[in-house]
Structure 1
């Protein structure tokens, strides 16, 4: 069977089990690139059953040497290939899952960048845009992803019940985020005095466009960081890291943090249990 034919079947299957649009699009991009690589390598249309583990290894090497893909990006491609061949094997389209013979790509564990409470206050103070100041505080005090935050509507932010309803977050999962005592009056003031009169149902919006873009938020953040003279790169996602990291430092249960972040497993949440050098020094001096 033609490789592209099976790829289309796989993508249809992902849609049928309600995988998110972002996930499906990412898989499609990776698999289409793999198909084009094989077509160029063998100068013919690739067939699924003829693909070997060596072909997969050659593709990953090509991504490294010709496309300059970082280890994390190549690891993502390998994950895509394993999911695809697992599907093909399950549907009895191939005799074995050749992707299982390919070794994992070694990833260097990076220490996550996060901001202290003082740094968040400094960052907010360096932002001249009132609405983005509020969005930054929301990201830090809720742990929302930027896409989730900017997709909130006036219906999903329930100030009376003091809860934010995240509809179809990453992995197409809903979750509830309680609104803290610190955040509640800020959201109430915005809704009553600052939110523009517009037809848009988005909670965070401008009068001109009725919405706010993540690109613009990150650009304002970059300008604020530059104004502060910081060397670290701060994006909207770093505020999510900061939320999780500060909760870990305050000994909040990891399962509770997992639920707030909307992670599917504790393994993902556990990356936030990093310690700074000062904490590590305190630890060794306990002995």
Structure 2
């Protein structure tokens, strides 16, 4: 698709468009836009017929960097903001690599260059695989654009991805060390541990979700899109300030909303994911400094389940408490016997002192 634009150093309208991934520009020689539009239509027709020479253009192939910029523009126009952001990050890394290796032309990229890029990356095997997948999509576009005949990423040798238990159980030492050093995140970690809520759901809690007279939380579980009711332990209730407005977030530095297409106020998932990274990094730093194995915020949820299992709470009850139930979306899910469930939760050991 071509466009017309004005340059500060010229009185004429200029034509610009792309041919096989390469940006082309040409003065229309016209100062009036309606006349420039006619020139634009003529250039578009001749370009479509392959008559580039008439305008001084050549059939030279774009450089690799030129095509990467073209592809990134294409992704920004056709894909989601999240996809564009991921693609931009990968291509930024790939640009550093090809500049370092002196690779200029698109046709010069071979399988060995992709294998070299895999070795050059300083990240986990799974992340390297994701990089190669993004590059593969770009080279598929180059094939469709008739710039190259084969996709070098398709034949690259991917690193072996070792399966690891990311969301491991946290033992007494892990939890004691974590809460001793949690600082401003002590309440957040406590909510994760003593409710089993997922990190994002806990981050979106407001004081209006908490009924202090019944000691329960009623909130939307975003993964299932259902409203659930959870009992609160006496210890956790003692940590939560009471004199707050119902609309005030429990964790203001994490809480973030947006208005969706139908006018509803919902969590802004992209920004929320970024913000949750702050307590996650703090948690992982605490473990690292104590020479403890790596864990995630979801590990609190795993540990909550395992602690209830150790108290011999039946699986059906644990599923209910962890919002694994399945039923109609209009129902508020609650444990059949909240008081019994709270008795079990109150038996869980207290790792949080409530001191800041």
Q: Which TM-score band applies after superposition, normalised by the shorter structure?
A: 0.5 to 0.7
How far has the Cα of 1:136 moved from its partner? 1.0
Number of paired residues? 229
Spell out the pairing of 1:131-142 with structure 2 (5 A cutoff).
Answer: 132-140=185-193, 141-142=195-196
Where structure 1 has 5 or more consecutive residues not aligned to the other structure, the ranges are: 167-172, 207-211, 261-287
SS in 2 for 1:162: strand
Aligned counterparts of 1:143 and 1:3: Cα–Cα separation in 2: 42
Q: Are residues 1:32 and 2:92 paired?
A: yes
- Structure with greater helix percent: 1
Identify if the C-alpha distance between structure 1 residues 3 and 125 changes in structure 2 by more than 3 Å, giving closer, same or farther. closer
Q: Is the 8 A contact 2:205 2:249 kept in 1?
A: yes
How far has the Cα of 1:106 moved from its partner? 0.4
Match of residue 69 from structure 2: 4
Spell out the pairing of 1:90-239 with structure 2 (5 A cutoff).
Answer: 95-112=149-166, 114-116=168-170, 122=176, 126=180, 132-140=185-193, 141-145=195-199, 149-150=202-203, 152=204, 154=206, 157=209, 162-166=218-222, 175-176=225-226, 178-182=228-232, 186=236, 190=240, 192-193=242-243, 195=244, 201-205=248-252, 215=278, 218-219=281-282, 231-233=292-294, 236-239=297-300
Identify if the C-alpha distance between structure 1 residues 82 and 185 changes in structure 2 by more than 3 Å, giving closer, same or farther. farther
Match of residue 57 from structure 1: 115
Q: Is the 8 A contact 2:125 2:159 kept in 1?
A: yes
Q: Is the 8 A contact 1:124 1:137 kept in 2?
A: no
How far has the Cα of 1:137 moved from its partner? 2.7
Aligned counterparts of 2:297 and 2:102: Cα–Cα separation in 1: 44
Match of residue 52 from structure 2: none
Match of residue 270 from structure 1: none
Identify if the C-alpha distance between structure 1 residues 119 and 94 changes in structure 2 by more than 3 Å, giving closer, same or farther. same
Where structure 2 has 5 or more consecutive residues not aligned to the other structure, the ranges are: 1-20, 22-66, 254-274, 325-356
Identify if the C-alpha distance between structure 1 residues 59 and 218 changes in structure 2 by more than 3 Å, giving closer, same or farther. closer
Aligned counterparts of 1:158 and 1:224: Cα–Cα separation in 2: 30
SS in 2 for 1:115: coil
Identify if the C-alpha distance between structure 1 residues 241 and 12 changes in structure 2 by more than 3 Å, giving closer, same or farther. farther
- Structure with greater strand percent: 2
Aligned counterparts of 1:43 and 1:118: Cα–Cα separation in 2: 53
Q: Determine which structure has more spread, i.e. the larger CA radius of gyration.
A: 2
| Structure with higher RCO (Cα < 8 A, 6+ apart) | 1
Normalising by structure 2, what TM-score? 0.46
Q: Is the 8 A contact 1:127 1:224 kept in 2?
A: no
Q: Is the 8 A contact 1:222 1:234 kept in 2?
A: no
Match of residue 41 from structure 1: 101
